[in-house]
A and B are shown apart, each in its own frame.
Chain A
Amino acid sequence: MVFSSITFLLYFLPVTLILYFAVPSVKGRNLVLLAASLFFYAWGEPVYVILMVISILGNYLMVRLMDEAGEDLKHRKIHLAFLVLWNLAGLFFFKYADFLVDIINRAAGSELKKLELSLPIGISFYTFQALSYVIDVYRKKTACQKNLISFALYITMFPQLIAGPIVKYNEIAERLQKRRITRAAFGQGVERFIFGLSKKVLLANTLGQVFTLVSQQPASERTFLLVWLGAFSYTFQIYFDFSGYSDMAIGLGYMLGFRFPENFRHPYLASSVTEFWRRWHISLSSWFRDYVYIPLGGNRVSKARHIGNLIIVWGLTGLWHGASLNFLLWGFYYAFWLIIEKYLLEGFEERHRIFSHLLTALIVIFGWMLFSFTDFTALKIYAGQMLGFKTAGFLGKEAMYLLKSNIITLIIACLASGSLLYGLYRRVREKWAPAALVIQILMLVISVSFLVYQSYNPFLYFRF
């Protein structure tokens, strides 16, 4: 089930909220939320919900026993290593086994049969959440959770279960025991949810159709303008798709009394690749920073080792996004630019602000093409055309038609990816609150109407 679906909006969410608020105690609400989350997950994954339950019970029990053994426990590190491997085993098997078979087949010319299993939705997200709990308890950064329901809720909570943000245990541990929901916070949550839904349905879906059309156009017929229009559309699609989903998750969190970490801070305003990654998918970057990069030594090591650390972390970040070579390459691509920025372009950003913005935008846009095309031949042709090679001319009738049809959406997307539109909305809300309410209702109605009539409603991060 996805948030931008009629089933979720008209049935699941209202019923869950009614049941949730009908129960007065936090314990009771945790139980309702856990049941709803398991139902939410089982809706699309009736079998894989068992895998999630195994993960919950296993982590709960083993971490508790590790905690009870305390300092007396010999070989604590070995037990931690087992827990990490046990968590990664499920992820690796379901997500990367076929990728490995593919690599072996290519390298050895063998014909090993692929497993062709469907990917359990959200497995990357909930495995990373479980790992953060395991490692933080081991490091004694957080206390072990004694209540199974609370722990299960941390892993399964439906707002962030299938597409994040990745919530570290210590970020919500307190609210699992005690939380208060004010009317203002609930309203804030509804507002955030509507904004997220609109970003996803009105902007991401619309621009997604443009990119689909452009990328499926025969390469020989694509003009320079057309390929750039496609690239811009995808750049905005992926941002509004994912940040929209994060907004919906954060909004739902507010409605239910939780505070999830921010996942995006206007990433397209970044003037360096380093800054871009401080603004894009923040919860994933901070996860890799805390649990991989810093334990490897971070930047407090020799230059060669630091470069090695960056390559490892970004290779893993790429692979986290998908079991495919293009994702691995995408990770290395960012490692390359981060190394260049760190060691060759220090201070450049301050001296050439506008140029730095443009350069970052270009790097990011080309990066998205690497992300989008799993077929390397198609990628090479498309990227080449973006550089002006082998295009069918400069403008082209189709490109002009697509541009004219989508110019308003593109302008809104440009404005909405910065802080201008939201700033305007906030000013309206401060001056005359009912107008803000009208805007919210309008956005909701338009989004739902689009959902009813639109057949194109993919969700890019769903597969991760």
Chain B
Amino acid sequence: MQKPALRLVLAEIGAAIVLTVFILAVLKKPVNDDVSFTDLKETLLSASFDRANMKEGSAMKLKYLYGLSENDYEAVCLYVPSTNMDAQEMLLVRCKKEADTAKVREAMQERIEAERNTFNSYGIEQMALIDKAFAEVRGRLCLYVCDKNSDKMREAFLKAVQ
């Protein structure tokens, strides 16, 4: 084989290997779910989450809105709107074990549906927020956000648990 052709074949093999390694690395990317809960909470709240019309939710509120008991989880942070005419909300939960995240994720998704049904047909602004709402799970951490800056908060969350 001539020299340029050989170099090309080697480059092709190298390119295939690099791409495969990257894909495997993405698939096996470890999740840092042991990140300090307080730091994570602060990171999220500083990622453009406007708390002007928000208040911290109690354990009772968590049960009422999500059907979850605070004691079942390692740490919980809930922010709810001051009035029930608003859809803005944030819930961050660290489960004791990864298997518990399925229940929390389901509760968060049900919350999105419930909010959709509540504001459907009259709350244009609220529906716009709900359209941006997401429930994200990484390791033992679960996050639900309904906010105009949901994208930024998701980014901040994913970055923090990398």
Point out residues on A near B: beta carbons under 8 Å. Answer: 44, 46-47, 50-51, 54, 58, 61-62, 65-66, 68-70, 72-74, 79, 82-83, 86, 89-90, 93, 115, 117, 209, 212-213, 216-218, 221, 398, 455-456, 458
Tell me how far the C-beta of A100 lies from the nearest C-beta in chain B, rounded to whole angstroms. 15
Quick one: given A212-B131, A455-B129, A455-B148, are A73 and B4 in contact (CB under 8 Å)?
yes
Task: State the Cβ distance, A49 to closest chain B Cβ, in Å.
Answer: 11
* Chain A neighbourhood of B155, CB < 8 A: 44
Residues of B within 8 A of A455 (CB): 125, 128-129, 132, 148
- Chain B proximity of A339: nearest CB distance (Å): 37
Identity of the chain A residue whose Cβ is nearest the Cβ of B155 in the assembled complex: A44
Contact between chains at B120 and A218 (CB < 8 Å): yes
Q: Give the size of the chain B interface in residues (CB under 8 angstroms).
A: 30
Check B26–A86 contact: CB distance below 8 A.
no
Assess whether A82 is in contact with B12, with CB atoms less than 8 Å apart.
yes
B90-127 at interface with A (beta carbon < 8 Å): 116, 120-121, 124-125, 127
Q: Contact between B11 and A62 (Cβ–Cβ < 8 Å)?
A: yes
Contacts of A117 in B (CB 8 A): 26-27
- In whole angstroms, how far apart are the Cα atoms of A58 and B12 in the complex? 8
- A62 near B12: Cβ-Cβ < 8 Å: yes
Set B4, B22, B124: member contacting A68, Cβ < 8 A: B4
**A-chain residues with CB within 8 Å of residue B29 when the two chains form the complex:** 47
Interface-lining segment among B13-21, B39-47, B57-65, B72-80:
B13-21
Q: Does B5 contact A (CB under 8 A)?
A: yes
Q: Could you tell me the distance in whole angstroms from the C-beta of B11 to the nearest C-beta in chain A?
A: 5
The answer, among A47, A61, A69, A216, for a CB contact under 8 Å with B116, is: A216
Contact call A209/B128, Cβ cutoff below 8 A:
yes
CB distance from B47 to the nearest CB of A (A): 12
Q: Chain B's nearest CB lies how many Å from the CB of A206? A: 11
Set A46, A79, A213: member contacting B8, Cβ < 8 A? A79
Other-chain contact of B5, A61, A73, A115 (Cβ < 8 Å): A73
In the bound complex, CA of A165 to CA of B57 (Å): 46
The yes or no answer to B23 lying at the interface (CB within 8 A) is yes
